[in-house]
Amino acid sequence: MKKFLVLLLLSAMIVGNLFAGGQDEKEMAKAVEVDESAPVTIQFWHAMSGDRIDLIQSIVDKFVAENPNITVEVQYAGSYNDTLNKVKSAYKAGNAPAIFHSYEIGTLGMINSGLVSPVDELADKFNQSIDWDNFFVPVEGYYKYQGQHYSMPFNSSTPLLYYNKTLFEKAGLDPDNPPETYSEVIEAAKALKASGIEKPVTWNLHGWYFEEMIALQDAPFANNDNGRGSELPTEVLFNNEEGKKVFDWWIGMYNDGLFNDVGPGWSNHRAAFGSGEAAIILSSSSDVNLLTKALNEKGWEMGTGFIPHPEGSDGGVAIGGGSLWITNQLTEEQQLAAVKLVKYIANDESQKAWHKGTGYFPVTKSAMDSLDSEGWFEENPNYKTAFDQLLVSPGTLNSSGALLGVFPETREIVQSAIQECYQGKDTQEALDEAAKEVNDLITEWNELIQL
């Protein structure tokens, strides 16, 4: 009798499912039920050193206070590269952290790595909606791939032009009017040079600026929709007309003795700006605080402006920085906890605290509005520039920034090409050779990633 009942029940379930078919599709997509009060522990590995370790801890502490069933083990795992290498080893051993922090240029690699679950997928699974419209267009656009958001934006920045208002005035330039186009920068540099600054323009040797300057002209950096198409990118396009414009301008200033080559790294150009040896620099938007202080010490006033672009171009700035990824070896309770945590880190309160503590800009519009109504920008007008620059970015595939699996090497190769041009190589030739070298690496990467 019992057996019969079980059989009946089973067959009823099977038949029921057969007929339920299409009608239940919506039901299937409905949130997975997870006991939200069950105790759960997740690990969170990030790549922010110094004071930022405590700042991240304090944001997480607030999250834990609101979600007492969740325990979060936060760990600083070294640089972005160190973190990624540790995650890979931990994943192989089956104990990867629930959430880890990676840099923007690792995005295509992470998507194809097989280590992560897309944030959108998990958010849908647990009905934890994410209001992507509230994010700045370039931020949302950068982490969207094939219509899906793979990671949660966390620390975002863009390059910014910084200039010394006091030295501008001395050179007879308008201190409230930073140069915007390539020729305006050259004119300002000449005036500054005439006023006694030997090499008034500088920035560090970094491929990031070159990438941004191509995005600002709304030109592609890589093929297949700038690496965002349905096929993996197979070649880079930065040796195009727009790329040459950037090189010609940059190297031209170097050849005319207007630009000081300070090499790679992030300290030399800041030092040159702080000591007045340079009056116009490019640097990360997260340097506002640091550079304002450096100039104040000398009694100088600092201004900020957009990244220069050639006359008549209409692209937009792409973001840099990092985002938070959720790994795919988690229990459902852990997945839910991870989604809640990344959402919390991207909320207005956390992002405002993060912005004030680090200089990275908050990733959402509502956080910016809230800062605005607090009067933050009246006290810190230079922070506003980064937002204004973001707001005018059109969010096209080109201005969203390229995705490439071999981005770290691409930057090295581009930087080497720039140095070759300093030594007198033809800009087009250097670009073509660099592109060829990158293309070989892309071919290899596309094969390896499918193993």
Partner 1 sequence: MKQSVFPSKVLPYILLLPTFIILIIFLFYPAFETFRLSFYKVNPYTNATKFAGLYNFKKVFFNPDYGHSFGISILFSLLVVMLGIIISLALSVLLNQNFKGAKIYRTLMIWPYALSPAIAGALFNFLFNPANGIICFFSGNYTWLTSGNSAFIVVALAATWKNLGYNIVFYLTALRNVPSDSLEAAAIDGAGSVKRFFKITLAYISPTTFFLFVMNTTYAYFASFGLIDVLTEGGPVDSTNILIYQLYKDFFVNSRIGYAAAESLVLFCIVVLITVVQFKTTGKKVHYQ
Residue type, position 99, single letter: I
Among the residue ranges 4-12, 162-170, 267-275, 340-348, the one whose residues contact partner 1 (CB under 8 A): 267-275
The residue within the footprint of partner 1, chosen from 60, 72, 77, 115 (CB under 8 A), is: 115
Phi-psi group of 312: left, alpha or beta (phi > 0 → left; psi -120 to 50 → alpha; rest → beta):
left
- For residue 44, give both structure tokens: 């969170």
> Which residue bears the tokens 């519009």?
365
What residues between 169 and 228 interact with partner 1 by CB under 8 A?
Answer: 202, 205
Nearest to 70 by CA among 119, 120, 35: 35
# chain residues binding partner 1, by CB under 8 A: 45
What is the closest distance, in whole angstroms, from the C-beta atom of residue 71 to partner 1 in the complex?
A: 28
The residue within the footprint of partner 1, chosen from 49, 58, 81, 146 (CB under 8 A), is: 81
Gap between the Cα atoms of 274 and 292, Å rounded: 9
Please identify, using beta-carbon distances, which residue of 184 and 412 lies nearer to partner 1: 412
In terms of residues, how long is the chain? 451
What residues between 402 and 431 interact with partner 1 by CB under 8 A?
Answer: 405-406, 408-409, 412, 415-416, 419-420, 422-423
Number of Cα atoms under 13 Å in the Cβ half of residue 432: 5
The residue within the footprint of partner 1, chosen from 92, 293, 298, 436 (CB under 8 A), is: 92
Residue 370 lies near partner 1 (rule: CB under 8 A): no
Residue 320 lies near partner 1 (rule: CB under 8 A): no
Q: Give the containing element (helix H, strand E) for 114.
A: none
The residue within the footprint of partner 1, chosen from 1, 5, 93, 448 (CB under 8 A), is: 448
- Cα torsion at 442, 443, 445, 451 (round to 10°)? 160
Residue 449 lies near partner 1 (rule: CB under 8 A): yes
Gap between the Cα atoms of 353 and 435, Å rounded: 41
> Which residue bears the tokens 């030092």?
271
What is the closest distance, in whole angstroms, from the C-beta atom of residue 406 to partner 1 in the complex?
A: 7
Residue 157 lies near partner 1 (rule: CB under 8 A): no
Nearest to 115 by CA among 137, 141, 85: 85
* Residues making contact with partner 1 (CB under 8 A): 81-82, 85, 88, 92, 109-110, 112-115, 202, 205, 260-265, 267-269, 271-272, 275, 277-278, 405-406, 408-409, 412, 415-416, 419-420, 422-423, 444-445, 447-451
